[in-house]
Amino acid sequence: MSTAEHAAHTDPEFFPENVEFLGFIGGWDCYIGVDTVHSLFYLIRTKDRDWLEAVVKYSNRIISRSCVMSIARRGSKWEAASRLLDAHIRPRVHYEFPVPPYQSGLLANGELESVVGAIAAELKHNSRVAEEKQRRHEAPIIKMARALGLDPCPAGHNDSAWMANCPRGGHWIMISPSHNEFGCGYCRRKGGPEELRAFYDHLRREGDSHDGA
């Protein structure tokens, strides 16, 4: 699903007007790197949009509740629910991936598992193709990331994108082997192999100066 087909919403207080239907889609556990949270999803249908409301619980306490995205209204409630969950999962796969048990609603357990399984299978296929491409001819930006110990690996959302640990730590950089470039939105750094080396060296010098202070 392209970004033109769905829209994110970041205002936690927002709730759509003129709601025609509100129903529980389903839920699952999500491992977020340090612990597991429970996510519940609701379909909110208006005249022309289908909205996804996400409720996140930890230790039986709601820690967040908001409408996270919408898509143009099309098809049945069940079709809309599947498309919303698919679009919600994809950008989060590397830090928040669904795990059983599944909690059924509009979508049965098997349908929820199918949505998650299709994305997992696509990630696996894309990763395998990306690795095969680099085995035939490894891009200099991938070589540099390996040399710096940043553990590059396929990102999986297509058959060419890669990712690696950011030299600053705590998040990822995205790597495009075809353009021989990296980018880190968090650090606002980008460039080719030499820029990645310079970024790495700058942070090491910065760390050394702090240690010696």
Q: Could you report the per-residue pLDDT of 141-151, keeping only the tens digit for each?
A: 999 999 999 99
The overall average pLDDT reported for the chain is 90
User: Does some domain include residue 67?
Assistant: yes
Please identify which residue in the block is written with the tokens 């010696």: 212
Say whether pLDDT at 208 is over 60. no
pLDDT band at 170 (very low <50, low <70, confident <90, very high): confident
> Do 145 and 205 have their domain in common?
yes
Is the residue at 131 inside a domain? Answer: no
Residue pair 113/104 in contact by the 8 Å Cβ criterion: no
Averaged pLDDT for residues 11-40: 87
**How many structural domains comprise the chain?**
2
Minimum mean pLDDT among 2-16, 85-99, 173-187, 192-206: which range? Answer: 2-16
- The residues with which 19 forms a beta bridge, in sequence order, are none
Q: Which of 97, 124, 151 is the last residue of a domain?
A: 124
pLDDT value at position 188?
A: 95
Of 124, 159, 176, which residue is a domain's last?
124
DSSP tag of 166: -
Residues 33, 106 within the same domain: yes
- Same structural domain, 53 and 156: no
Q: Could you tell me if 13 and 74 lie in one domain? A: yes
Residue 119: the pLDDT is 94
Which of 77, 81, 17 lies closest to 52, judged by CA? 81
Residues shown for the chain: 213
Considering the domain boundaries, does residue 1 fall inside one? no
32 plus 84 within the same structural domain: yes
pLDDT, tens only, 76-132: 999 999 999 999 999 888 888 898 999 999 999 999 999 999 999 999 999 999 999
Rounded average pLDDT over 11-38: 86
- Whether the per-residue pLDDT at 12 is higher than 60: the answer is no
Range of the domain at 77: 6-124
34-59 pLDDT, tens digit per residue, is: 789 999 999 999 999 999 999 999 99
Q: What is the CATH number of the domain that holds 186?
A: 3.90.580.10
Domain boundary among 124, 147, 182: 124
The pLDDT-based confidence of 14 (bands split at 50, 70, 90) is confident
Task: Indicate if 101 and 148 belong to the same structural domain.
Answer: no
* Contact status, residue 50 vs residue 104, Cβ threshold 8 Å: no
**DSSP for residue 12:** T
Do 142 and 96 share a structural domain?
A: no
Integer Cα distance of 50 and 38 in angstroms: 22
Q: 188's torsion region: left (phi>0), alpha (psi -120 to 50) or beta?
A: left
Instruction: Note whether residue 184 is domain-resident.
Output: yes
The whole-number pLDDT of residue 3 equals 37
Give the predicted TM-score (pTM) of the model: 0.78
CA–CA distances in Å: residue 65 to residues 8, 104, 179, 189, 205: 14, 19, 39, 33, 42
**Cα-to-chain-centroid distance, residue 201:** 29
Q: CA-CA distance, 94 to 32, in Å (whole number)?
A: 9
Same domain for 205 and 144, yes or no, is yes
Residue 2 pLDDT: 39
Strand order in the sheet with 181-184: 153-154, 162-165, 172-176, 181-184, 189-191
Give a yes or no: residue 159 inside a domain.
yes
What pLDDT score was predicted for residue 1?
40
Contact 141, 171 (CB under 8 A): no
Confidence (pLDDT) at 4:
39
Q: How many Å apart are CA 123 and CA 128, to the nearest integer?
A: 9
Q: Identify whether residues 149 and 75 lie together within a single domain.
A: no
Please check whether residue 102 lies inside any domain of the structure. Answer: yes
